[in-house]
Amino acid sequence: MPLLAALSALLAPGRLAAQTASTPCQFVLGFKTLHDLDPADVGDCTDNQAPQPNGDAQQHTTNGLMVWRKADNWTAFTNGYMTWINGPSGLASRLNTDRFSWEAPATALALAPATVLPAPSPTATAKPTTPWYIKRVSDPPIQMCGYGGTFACVDSAPNPQYQYVSGHVIYKDGTPASGFIVQANVGSDPNSPKLFNTTTADGQFGIVFGIGCATGPLTLDVYLVDANLKLASDVKHIQYLDCRTAGEFHFDFMENGSPNS
């Protein structure tokens, strides 16, 4: 299942350039090997490989997150739903909910502190204030979740393996909007790296912001940007607390206006 049209007035066709900073990023070592095996699914880098406090290494791409896990020494890429692993027999892929026999058990993932925090309360769909507003995935006028979709029609769900935001960008006539750039700011520092994803043919986006039950609390602001990386939609504010309460978050961007306008 893939995780992942342009805005006629705001967004030019084509994908986002991999690196917007003055210094270009690059893939090295095992991440370069994995990228070269499947560049279409992995996408381009948006930052450089960085060590993590638990000994892992991570690197964000336009399609998801590259990970080297110290626990079992595998190199993988995830788009939030599928995982590609450079395993003992070469490149292999699986659902994030599955595991290969040669992987470390899921219990080997680092867990957040034992205190389980209360689940976030659902937030009602906001009144449209921009060309693109935010709605719950279960709200009308159209649902693209469930019924064979990649996630259930819920606002959030526990996920101890990967923490991410996902949903669809939908035109006012109910058709999926492909080629849109979704941006996420993680944390309160305005200079922190921005995470990007571009919607696929079915209008879907997915941005991974953590792996192995990231320690909360974290704040995320998620929104659409135009070709010049300027704000083009309402902003979805997310408060991540604990992966076992809510590790994945689902919402849609819906074009404002009536279908015939």
User: CATH no. for residue 185?
Assistant: 2.60.40.1120
Residue 212, C-beta contacts closer than 8 angstroms, at least 6 positions apart = 54, 56, 69, 109, 110, 160, 161
Q: How many residues are recorded in the chain?
A: 261
pTM of the model: 0.56
**Residues 207 and 137 grouped into a single domain:** yes
**Are 81 and 93 contacting, i.e. CB atoms less than 8 angstroms apart?**
no
Instruction: Evaluate whether 46 touches 61 at the Cβ level (below 8 Å).
Output: yes
Distances in whole angstroms, Cα of residue 32 to Cα of each of 68, 69, 207, 227: 12, 15, 20, 27
Which one of 105, 121, 143 terminates a domain? 105
Does residue 113 form part of some domain? no
Residues 204 and 144 occupy one common structural domain? yes
Short-list 95, 77, 86, CA closest to 40: 77
Same domain for 156 and 230, yes or no, is yes
Selected residue with higher pLDDT from 217 and 5:
217
Q: Please tell me whether residues 148 and 219 are part of one structural domain.
A: yes
Q: Look at residue 122 and tell me if it is in a domain.
A: no
Residues 137 and 248 in one domain: yes
How is the chain split among helix, strand and coil, in percent rounded to 5? 5, 35, 60
Q: Could you tell me the pLDDT band of residue 3, with boundaries at 50, 70 and 90?
A: very low
Does 124 map to a domain?
Answer: no
Cβ contact 83:76 at 8 Å: yes
Residues 168 and 64 in one domain: no
Within a domain: 251:
yes
Are 183 and 145 members of one domain?
yes
| Tens-digit pLDDT profile for residues 136-149 | 998 888 888 875 55
pLDDT over 90 at 249, yes or no: yes
Whether residues 35 and 96 share a domain: the answer is yes
> Would you say residue 118 lies in a domain?
no
Report the range out of 1-5, 79-83, 165-169 with the highest average pLDDT: 165-169
What is the overall mean pLDDT for the chain? 76
Question: Token pair for residue 92?
Answer: 């292999």
Shared domain check, 228 and 144? yes
Asked if 59 and 159 sit in the same domain, the reply is no
Q: Within a domain: residue 110?
A: no
Q: Is position 17 within any domain?
A: no
Shared domain for 80 and 170, answered yes or no, is no
Residue with the two structure tokens 């994945």? 248
Same domain for 99 and 157, yes or no, is no
Q: Is the pLDDT score of 121 beyond 60? A: no
Whether 230 is covered by a domain: the verdict is: yes
pLDDT at 132 over 90: yes
Q: Give the domain range for residue 95.
A: 29-105
Q: How many domains does the chain have?
A: 2
- Note the maximum CA span of the chain: 55
In the block, tokens 């060309």 appear at 131
Tell me the β-bridge partners of 236.
222
